[in-house]
Amino acid sequence: MSDVTPEPVAAPEPEPAPGYVAAPVPGVLLGPRSPLLMGAIGVVLVIAGVANCLLFNMSPGGPVEGVLAYGSGFSWLLTGLALGIVGIVLSRRGNAAMVGRPGIDGLSITSVSLAGAAVVVWAILGGFHFLQRVLTGVEYRYMEDVNGAFFAGIPWMLAIIFGAISFREGRSTSNLLSLIGIGVGILLLIPTLASGVIYGLHLSP
């Protein structure tokens, strides 16, 4: 006789009874998006875009400087108009709450990630040198100072857009991440506009 003990066979799972409905995935009630936040961001970006283009016109610049100035200015302007239009549509057509999955929203994480990427690109391609010039008083150079802002434009504006879209009542952690992404994007406007002021006042070549 063999001493091998046969392995137990698992019993088949019982089939659900007719009419059985699986329990739904638990969700949380999310508040509406914020048209006011979108509108406020839109106004800031539109004003910044127009100002950046006007500041460049105050000083005769070369074609490269023009591409950098108008490229950044128009990207801010278009992003601001888009957010403003979305905010107006949401406020007029209704902006109801919805049931969503619990946890952190993926768009808010994307917003922070893109904002961080924009800061890195801005710093490497000119932002760090601009800050050095501010602290040391070395002569400013417009093309070098705004180069990073120009090439960081896509992740920069997307960080603001995703942050504004993902902001909803009832998501404290996600909203915090969204506001960080938006805040970093707005703060990056300051050194770029400062470079425009310096260039417009003929204080940098």
For residue 179, being part of any structural domain is answered with: yes
pLDDT of residue 158: 95
pLDDT of residue 116: 95
For residue 3, being part of any structural domain is answered with: no
CA 86 from chain centre, in angstroms, equals 16
- For 87, counting Cβ atoms within 10 Å of its Cβ (0-12 exposed, 13-18 middle, 19+ buried), the class is buried
Q: Per-residue pLDDT tens for 85-114?
A: 998 888 877 665 555 555 677 889 999 999
pLDDT of residue 168: 82
Q: Per-residue pLDDT tens for 46-68?
A: 999 999 888 877 766 677 888 88
Q: How far is CA 149 from CA 21, 57, 68, 102, in A?
A: 54, 19, 9, 35
pLDDT of residue 103: 60
CA 87 from chain centre, in angstroms, equals 16
- What is the DSSP annotation of the chain? ---PPPPPPPPPPPPPPTT--PPPPP-EEE--B-HHHHHHHHHHHHHHHHHHHHHHHTS---HHHHHHHHHHHHHHHHHHHHHHHHHHHHHHH----EEE-SS--HHHHHHHHHHHHHHHHHIIIIIHHHHHHHHH-PPP-HHHHHHHHHHTHHHHHHHHHHHHHH-BTT-HHHHHHHHHHHHHHHHTHHHHHHHHHHHHTT---
pLDDT of residue 24: 47
**Single-letter amino acid code for the residue at 77:** L
pLDDT of residue 129: 84
pLDDT of residue 23: 45
CA 202 from chain centre, in angstroms, equals 32
For residue 151, being part of any structural domain is answered with: yes
Task: Look up tokens 């400062």; give the residue.
Answer: 194
For residue 47, being part of any structural domain is answered with: yes
Q: Quote the domain boundaries for residue 78.
A: 35-92+104-200
In the chain, the number of structural domains is 1
For residue 136, being part of any structural domain is answered with: yes
pLDDT of residue 16: 53
pLDDT of residue 22: 47
For residue 72, being part of any structural domain is answered with: yes
Among candidate residues 168, 173, 189, 177, the one with its CA nearest the CA of residue 110:
177
Please identify every stretch of the chain with a pLDDT value under 70, giving residue numbers as ranges: 1-32, 59-61, 94-103, 203-205
For residue 7, being part of any structural domain is answered with: no
Q: What is the pTM of this model?
A: 0.77
